[in-house]
Structure 1
Amino acid sequence: MGWKETAAPVLTRMPAVQRPEGHVPFRRKMYWTAGVLVLYFFLTNVTLWGLDTGASQDLFEQFRSLLAGGQGTVLQLGIGPIVTGSIVLQLLGGANLLGLDTNDPRDQAIYQGLQKMLVLVMVFLTGIPMVFFGNFLQPSAAVAQSLGIGSLGVQVLLFAQIAAGGILLLFMDEVISKWGVGSGIGLFIVAGVSQSLVGGFIFWEGEFPNQGLFPNWIDLALGNVSNIPPLLSIDGLSFLLIQAGILGLFTTLLIYVTVVYAESVRVEIPLSHARVKGARGRFPVKLIYASVLPMILVRALQANIQFIGQILNSTLGIPSWLGVYSDGTAIGGLFYYLSPIYSRESWMWWLGSTPATIEPWQILIRIGVDLTFMIVGGAVFAIFWVETTDMGPEATAKQIQNSGMQIPGFRKNLGVIEKVLERYIPQVTVLGGALVGLLAVMANMLGTIGNVTGTGLLLTISITYKLYEEIAEEQMMEMHPMMREMFGGGD
């Protein structure tokens, strides 16, 4: 008896959001999407009961917007467990260790149940160390004393709250995927990053340069900023680029233009219908063929590596060659070199923002490791993403043949179509994944508006672009029901 027969009774009975029986009108999809987003914003502002906020550390501070969570809130874990579970499933599926045929309804149900089971496991594996080890989520002594359950009892309550939030986010994602528009994970990332972007432009409280871009410029124009160096000097140029935010604005706009341009660059393979004369189409192979979503997997892997390092350091203590920590951040050892570049202050040693114990050659090694990790990781995870989401040459060739289309000038043969697609899809997948990795590191190194991570900015722009395309397609199908039948979305 194989593992499928053993696990099927459990995995096929995992709780799931019911699929709509027929076509869901566009307006109703928007209502569901808006409702889930309102719930998401509400939950990111619900503080954990029993938490000592003054003594807690934000373990994933640099990944916060990317993980779509809220420090010290019910959504403390964010989409981390969902993404980590997807990484494990992608690797198992990519290595063909599962033996599941996603075209078979029973195997498809097992696959979805296995995905939920992995998310539950990741909720426990991520949440338990975060609550019970280190200083990441400290229990409130006052609550422990008032309830008479001790610190351990309060920690159990904290874990129960963040576990419930992680599971709830899983079903919120499923609601949007089945009843709404787009992907829940994508929308949560856009929501989190957009908050940081808007704050980076208009946040008014504080003093220069700890405000938004526009308030800083207004203070400069009104002469409210003192000790401004001569603007034509090297120090003046550095002041304008970094403290005045011009470099961050330039980087943000550059990433936006590059991603939108890359989304529009494509190789179009002509198609014609084998039986209907004059019926023609094109299959687009975009430069970012695998989308930017595999970058979540790469960054989540980096976040988990840092998480392991911080847990080991806070609980067991580790040798200096493995990691040297200051205020919960690696400043030396292997875990320092494996930590991603978060901002320009992480590598511009000549500004005096890096610890004096870190030498320039160490920073250069860290930059090289981060670039290699992101470029190679982006390409590798893009390949896994394409193969496990039925976007590879073989799966795409089957889809084209099943639709009755063929490539003009070639025989109507599955192998022929697959060979033509193999000329483009693998190369474009690797190139697009590497390009996205390079852009993410560059954005982090140069800084962006609101200190949004490069990966978060890339994801937000790409997801918003695809969401716009999907909304336009939904509206077109709503206006022309025949098109919905052509795309297989009929009632």
Structure 2
Amino acid sequence: MGWKEAAEPYLTRMPTVSRPEGHVPFKRKLAWTGFILVVYFFLTNVSIWGLGAGASDLYGQFRSLLAGGQGSLLQLGIGPIVTASIVLQLLGGANLLGLDTNDPRDQAIYQGLQKFLVLVMICLTGLPLVFLGGFLPADTALAASLGVGTLGVKWLIFAQIFIGGVLILYMDEVVSKWGVGSGIGLFIIAGVSQSLVGGLLYWGGGTGEMGVFPYWINVLLGNISGVTLSSVVFNSTVGLLPIFTTLLIYAIVVYAESVRVEIPLSHARVKGARGRFPVKLIYASVLPMILVRALQANIQFVGRILKSWLGTGMPTWLGQYTTDMQVTGGLFYYLAPIHSPSDWMWWTSGASGAEPWQILLRVSADLTFMVIGGAIFAIFWVETADMGPESTAKQIQNSGMQIPGFRQNVGVIEKVMERYIPQVTVIGGALVGLLAVLANMMGTIGGVSGTGLLLTISITYKLYEEIAEEQLMEMHPMMRQMFN
């Protein structure tokens, strides 16, 4: 008996959100999407009951990307879902699962396996947060009043984190089946947009806490003393450089989304019916970058857990940390991504205290990791999302379309697709990885990560396209039947 036969009775019984039996009207899709978005913001503002003072964010700069809320029910955000996707993509890429996602039986097993892995990742991530290192300390006064001890309160904290992880899993499924786009994309847009709006409008108490508009208004009015050319240009959140970088990244992503190779198509039976199959430069979308950055976040997660566990016994070659758990040396330092200009501009005030050669080595490692990782995960994404040459050829064949000048045969169409899709996938994945690192190095408005900014712009652009497509289908129901 294979693993599929043994696991099928359990995996196929995992709770799931039922698919709509027929067409879901566009207004209802928008309603479901808006409802889940409101629930998401509500849960990120529900604090964990029993949490004591001194809690620290283990994810740090990855927080906006993982779409969660520090100290809230959504403490883990989409981290477990993304980590489970990484494991599944690696197993699927190595053909270790033996599942055919076109087979309804294997598809049900795959979806159940994905949910099971998410639950496992919630435990593997949440348990160290609560029970190791004091990242989420228990309220000792509450423990004494309840008479359950500190350990009992910690289990209550973990239970809340676990429930939040399960909720975001099924919220993502509701959006994917009943709403517009995907839940993961929606949550990333919500988190990053919140940071961007705060980075533009927040009127804080100091120059480092102000948004862009309040900062520049105060600079022009002369309310801020000690303003220098360096502070005006290189300030990591409100300076000219992050403003220029944010606008530049926006323009590049929108332009890259419009760059495409269009393969002409014609209908085999309806004379004069023609179309085009677009192979975009960012063919795999920007979503594989979530997997790459999540892998980096998990590496840093392991480093901080080891430091909290070993303390002073941790080898210096492996990692050196400050009292607030910021890595300053060792292997985990070189594997840490660049988050802001101060991480590598050693000639400016407030920059990293590392030697220039160490900083350059870290920048090189981050670039290599993101460019190569972006290309590899883009390939995995295309294959698992049925966007590869073989799957695309079958879709074109099933729709009744063909490539003019070629025989109406799946194998022939697949060979034509192989001229474009693999090359464009690798180039697009590497390009997105490069842009993510450069955006982090230059800084962005609100201090959002370069990857988060890329994802927000790209996902918003795709949501716009999907909404336009949905509206077109509503006006012309025959097109919905044609394109299934």
Question: Shared topology, TM-score over 0.5?
Answer: yes
Give per-residue Cα distances to partners, 1:91-145, cap 9 Å, x unaligned.
Answer: 1111111111111111111110000000000000000011100021111111111
Give per-residue Cα distances to partners, 1:361-416, cap 9 Å, x unaligned.
Answer: 00000000000000000000000100111111111111111222111111222222
- Residues 284 and 381 in structure 2, CA contact (< 8 A), matched pair in contact too: yes
Give per-residue Cα distances to partners, 1:266-313, cap 9 Å, x unaligned.
Answer: 000011112221111110000000000000000000000001111111
Q: Please name the residue that 2:326 is paired with.
A: 329
- Residues 346 and 353 in structure 1, CA contact (< 8 A), matched pair in contact too: no
Q: Please name the residue that 1:414 is paired with.
A: 410
User: 2 CA distance for matches of 1:146 and 1:476?
Assistant: 60
Give per-residue Cα distances to partners, 1:233-288, cap 9 Å, x unaligned.
Answer: xxx2x232123521111000000000000000000001111222111111000000
Q: Please name the residue that 1:446 is paired with.
A: 442
Cα displacement (A) at 1:355: 4.5
Q: 2:289 aligns with which of 295, 300, 312?
A: 295
Matched, 1:281 2:275: yes
User: 2 CA distance for matches of 1:376 and 1:449?
Assistant: 27
TM-score normalised by L of structure 2: 0.98
SS of residue in 2 equivalent to 1:270: strand
Q: Please name the residue that 1:233 is paired with.
A: none
Query: Any residues of structure 2 matched to 1:82-481 within 5 Å, and which?
Result: 82-229=81-228, 236=229, 238-243=230-235, 245-316=239-310, 317-326=313-322, 327-356=324-353, 358-481=354-477
User: 1 CA distance for matches of 2:45 and 2:73?
Assistant: 8
Give per-residue Cα distances to partners, 1:162-212, cap 9 Å, x unaligned.
Answer: 000000000000111111111000000000000000000000121224200
SS of residue in 2 equivalent to 1:281: strand
User: 2 CA distance for matches of 1:227 and 1:397?
Assistant: 63
Give per-residue Cα distances to partners, 1:21-66, cap 9 Å, x unaligned.
Answer: 11111111111111110000000000000111x3111011201110
Q: Please name the residue that 1:28 is paired with.
A: 28
User: 1 CA distance for matches of 2:144 and 2:351?
Assistant: 42
User: 2 CA distance for matches of 1:334 and 1:62?
Assistant: 19
Instruction: Give 2:114's aligned amino acid.
Output: Q
Size of the alignment, in residue pairs? 479
Give per-residue Cα distances to partners, 1:72-92, cap 9 Å, x unaligned.
Answer: 000000000000000001111
- Residues 345 and 352 in structure 2, CA contact (< 8 A), matched pair in contact too: no
SS of residue in 1 equivalent to 2:347: helix
SS of residue in 2 equivalent to 1:13: coil
Instruction: Give 1:377's aligned amino acid.
Output: G
**RMSD over aligned Cα atoms:** 1.0
User: 2 CA distance for matches of 1:381 and 1:161?
Assistant: 32
- Residues 256 and 282 in structure 2, CA contact (< 8 A), matched pair in contact too: yes
User: 1 CA distance for matches of 2:104 and 2:412?
Assistant: 29
- Residues 234 and 341 in structure 2, CA contact (< 8 A), matched pair in contact too: no
- Residues 393 and 417 in structure 2, CA contact (< 8 A), matched pair in contact too: yes
SS of residue in 1 equivalent to 2:226: coil
User: 2 CA distance for matches of 1:119 and 1:30?
Assistant: 27
- Residues 193 and 460 in structure 1, CA contact (< 8 A), matched pair in contact too: yes
TM-score normalised by L of structure 1: 0.96
- Residues 399 and 482 in structure 2, CA contact (< 8 A), matched pair in contact too: no
5+ residue gaps, structure 2: none
5+ residue gaps, structure 1: 230-235
Instruction: Give 2:298's aligned amino acid.
Output: N
- Residues 318 and 332 in structure 2, CA contact (< 8 A), matched pair in contact too: yes
- Residues 339 and 449 in structure 2, CA contact (< 8 A), matched pair in contact too: yes
- Residues 342 and 352 in structure 2, CA contact (< 8 A), matched pair in contact too: no
User: 2 CA distance for matches of 1:239 and 1:19?
Assistant: 53
Q: Please name the residue that 1:232 is paired with.
A: none
SS of residue in 1 equivalent to 2:316: coil
Instruction: Give 2:33's aligned amino acid.
Output: T
User: 2 CA distance for matches of 1:228 and 1:411?
Assistant: 69
Deviates more, 1:382-391 or 1:238-247: 238-247
Deviates more, 1:342-351 or 1:434-443: 342-351
User: 1 CA distance for matches of 2:232 and 2:160?
Assistant: 45
User: 2 CA distance for matches of 1:4 and 1:346?
Assistant: 47
Cα displacement (A) at 1:344: 0.7
